[in-house]
């Protein structure tokens, strides 16, 4: 009985904390090389950022994005989250004037909804 109580206590401690903690291993935002989600894909986890160096593959190569419900992908014109910025809070088959202009990005998730284990597609809008 004491063993069961200890397990329950440990489980409750592990389950508390920020809502985003349970999604650390799940993809929350994706950036694609071509319009219509084509070409190479760069997945991002919740509350992560990335900065591309000049001359590297992804610098100024993003053309479409997918963003899970409850998340926002903030893209920047320059590395280090500098320069002009734009927020995407939904999928975009084409990112318009931002096509091939992104040099850094951050995926911010305040209300991320699903871990994807039940077959739910986090990118499909309800």
- Domain membership flag for residue 67: yes
How many domains is the chain built from? 1
Domain that holds residue 32: 23-109
- Domain membership flag for residue 54: yes
- Domain membership flag for residue 116: no
- Domain membership flag for residue 58: yes
Model confidence pLDDT, tens digit, residues 3-42 = 444 333 333 333 333 333 334 468 999 999 999 999 999 9
Q: Could you write out the DSSP letters of every residue in 101-115?
A: --SEEEEEESS----
Q: If pLDDT is split at 50, 70 and 90, which confidence band does 120 have?
A: very low
Residue 72: how many CB atoms within 10 A of its CB? 18
Model confidence pLDDT, tens digit, residues 36-62 = 999 999 999 999 999 998 888 999 999
CATH number at residue 100: 2.60.20.10
Model confidence pLDDT, tens digit, residues 85-114 = 999 999 999 999 999 999 999 999 986 655
Candidates 73, 72, 74, 69; CA nearest to 114 is: 69
């Amino acid at each position: 009985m004491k063993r069961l109580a200890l397990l329950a206590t440990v489980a409750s401690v592990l389950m508390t904390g920020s809502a985003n903690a349970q999604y650390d291993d799940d993809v929350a935002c994706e950036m694609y090389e071509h319009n219509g989600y084509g070409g190479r894909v760069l997945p991002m986890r919740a509350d992560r950022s990335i900065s591309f160096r000049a001359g590297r593959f992804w610098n100024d190569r993003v053309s479409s994005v997918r963003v899970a419900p409850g998340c926002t992908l903030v893209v920047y014109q320059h590395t280090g989250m500098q320069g002009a910025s734009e927020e995407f809070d939904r999928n975009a088959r084409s990112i318009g004037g931002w096509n091939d202009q992104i040099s850094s990005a951050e995926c911010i998730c305040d209300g991320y909804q699903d871990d994807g284990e039940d077959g739910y597609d986090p990118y499909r809008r309800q």
